[in-house]
Amino acid sequence: MNILVTGSAGFVGQNLIESLKNIQQNRDRTRPKLKIDTIFEYDIKTNPALLDDYCKSADFVFNLAGVNRPENNDEFMAGNFGFASTLLNTLRKYKNNCPVMLSSSIQATLLGRYAESDYGKSKLAGEELFFEYGKETGAKILVYRFPNLFGKWCRPNYNSAVATFCNNYANDLPIQVNDPKVELELLYIDDLLEEMLDALEDKEHHCEFDGVDTVAKEDGRYCYAPVTHKATLGEIVDLLESFKNQPETLVIPEIPNNSFVKKLYSTYLSYLPKEKVKFPLKMNCDERGSFTELLKTVNCGQFSVNISKPGIIKGEHWHHTKWEFFIVVSGHGLIQERKIGVDENGQPYPVRNYEVSGDKIEAIHMLPGYTHNIINLSDTENLVTVMWANEQFDPKHPDTFYEKVEKE
């Protein structure tokens, strides 16, 4: 299959091109039935003469070309309608009736705040041009009215508030929110790409529109990406504030699978400047080694790393409710645990011994109600242990009580 992507240097175009290349080069094997031969990339800087060759050979066309922020409004119609005419006329020239996808906008509804949108009018004109072309030639036409798009490589200060907010928070620039209650419907780039690849496999989703709302319909005139999210500007700003503060708080917010928070966090990270990709952690050091908190989560505890110098014993305490995993990743050590209290004979419970090594990485439970320690058995090598606790450390309620494992 030969695929033509117009607007290939734009936000969606870049992401689509890289996804197609991954499939073409067998780096992405999630769509084994999809075979891609040649990817034709066409953008504003491409030699116009190449459009003939591309339109002659294409088996599928993604028309992502368009104008979003022109110097004057007349350019909307020239960029969004004029090039569409050129593209379709070139396909006609070679009698190429392959499927054609059009990137339109919800603004083409010309409803509500979009009623006087010159951009929306140019998009609507482009839609009708494509539908007429489909009737004339029998070519399959897939018209998508996109809501607000966001994701990596989206240009800030252009046509995405999310991109602008992410860029400005990442680079310590001011943002302006006139009404935090304004709600946006948001489409993440990876969800859009899934739909575009579905379209390549003849599995696109169809819909009609009830005002600006998408209504799924198998024989609908339009197409749509089924996974979108709704969030207010205030919610977006609050999340970005927490992302920005993460190097100080160490707290990773809840990021459930396929959630808006997960996608927004990935988008935010893509705007970090070089100097913010790395940040220091507070190492608590003494003559025994060090202890460093790595990451904290809202509801799933925290991660730390402990370094013990040769011959050092650490721990010797127990918890009522807190429990932990100790995972030795380097060195040779011994973890000991003993149940608090005495058995039915009035004797201390036996000590449980677990020899551990970075050569065989294992996870050891630190059980509630068991005092425990970790001993570096090496005379020369540090013992490095990754630790996970089921709750963040609370200095007001530490749930940590000293008691040696080995009774004297």
Query: Pick the residue with more confidence: 269 or 106?
Result: 269
Contacts of 251 (CB under 8 A, 6+ apart): 242, 245, 295, 296, 297, 298
Stretch(es) of the chain classified as CATH 2.60.120.10: 283-402
246-272 confidence digits (pLDDT tens): 999 999 999 999 999 999 999 999 999
Enzyme catalytic residues: 119
Query: Pick the residue with more confidence: 370 or 114?
Result: 370
pLDDT at 78: 52
65-96 confidence digits (pLDDT tens): 975 444 555 544 554 567 899 999 999 999 99
d(CA 185, CA 191): 13
pTM above 0.95, yes or no: no
Structure token pair of residue 238: 């609050």
* Fold exhibited by the domain 283-402: Jelly Rolls (2.60.120)
* Tokens 């110097």, residue located: 71
Torsional sign, CA 57, 63, 69, 75? positive
Mean pLDDT of 11-17: 97
Confidence band of 115 (pLDDT split at 50, 70, 90): confident
Query: Helices 118-137 & 83-93, crossing angle to 10 degrees?
Result: 10
Q: Write the DSSP string, 221-250.
A: SEE--S--EEEEHHHHHHHHHHHHTHHHH-
Stretch(es) of the chain classified as CATH 3.40.50.720: 2-274
Mean pLDDT of the chain: 94
pLDDT at 70: 47
Query: Which residue, 267, 192, 248, is CA-closest to 224?
Result: 192
Mean pLDDT of 214-231: 97
CATH code for residues 2-274: 3.40.50.720
